[in-house]
Chain A
Amino acid sequence: MRTLHGWERTSFVLLHVYVLGVCGVVLGAFTVQFLGKEIPCPLCILQRMAMLLAAVGPMFIINRSSIHGSDSKSDLSTGFGMSILAALVGLFISGRQVLLHIIPGDPGYGGTVFGFHLYTWAFTVFSTILLASGITLVMSRYMTISTHVGRPRVASRLTAWVLGLVIAANAISVFFESGTTWFLPDDPTNYELIEEFNEFRRHRAAERLRHVSEGQLNLGTDDRLGFIDPEDSEVSVDQPVDSRTP
């Protein structure tokens, strides 16, 4: 494995900082979500997606240069091109949400961090990504990224893992938020999956109570899930079926 020197090393380290920085921003949004108990709206989720997709670009360059050792210049262009495209989409989404709440007197969506709402911060992050990617592409003739072939460094593998875990955590969080419905609610107030599970349990308990009242269920053998306590049930199983009220 070749040792990196000078600017080459700095560029390589900066790519890792780029990916980890984006992951840090998304983890910050997670902190607001769970510690601040603020459920993200669909536009917030879309901004997270665009942000993580923008981080795939530098991850592409890191992987190509450290594992496959291909031509670094074309990979540099491809990677930062990916970042620019994703950041452009993110800029549109966050810009749309900023404009949605820009009217004076509008309290905005959710709380603020250092005086700005999260979507305003997202707009700043996407602008920074665009600026950084543009400058890097302009300066690319003076840049060389590592072109060795071999096992990726520990830092590169760690960065890939962090990015993967942040994406997976977002997928799980969003699944809890949307439940089994196709799309997220416009103004979410709770985690739909938990609500649906609770609703399912209530429905099952009501169904079983109804079966008991109709005399179709033997409480001793059929109540395997333990939803029904025979002592709490309003209907006695010893009572004749005809005399039970539905």
Chain B
Amino acid sequence: MVAASIFILILVTVFMLHRPKPKMALIFFGVSMTCITLLFLHHAIDDLGLSF
């Protein structure tokens, strides 16, 4: 469900592009990218228990 929500977030970002002010589109873009990064960390790195 988290993955599907992120796709919906990206879809909302595309809708926000039609607004006159670009601020909301940029905010949604940032939130989407942060969510993708966090989900990547969850799936790819958390289980390995790596220490940096």
Contacts and interface: CB of A to CB of B under 8 A. Distances in A.
Interface of A: 42-43, 45-46, 49-50, 52-53, 56, 59-60, 63-64, 67-68, 75, 78, 82, 85-86, 89, 92-93, 96, 160, 163-164, 167-168, 170-172, 174-175, 177-178, 180-184, 186
Given A78-B26, A174-B4, A178-B1, A42 B33 contact: no
Contacts of B36: 46, 49-50, 53, 89
Interface of B: 1-4, 6-8, 10-11, 13-15, 17-18, 20, 22, 25-26, 29, 32-33, 36-37, 39-40, 42-44
A82 B26 CA distance: 9
Given A46-B39, A82-B29, A164-B11, 13 more contacts: A43-B43, A49-B6, A52-B7, A56-B29, A63-B17, A64-B22, A85-B33, A160-B14, A168-B11, A172-B4, A182-B2, A183-B42, A184-B43
27 contacts: A42-B43, A43-B44, A49-B36, A53-B32, A53-B36, A56-B13, A56-B14, A56-B17, A56-B29, A60-B22, A75-B22, A78-B22, A82-B29, A86-B33, A93-B40, A96-B44, A160-B14, A163-B14, A164-B11, A164-B14, A171-B7, A174-B3, A175-B1, A178-B1, A178-B3, A181-B1, A184-B43
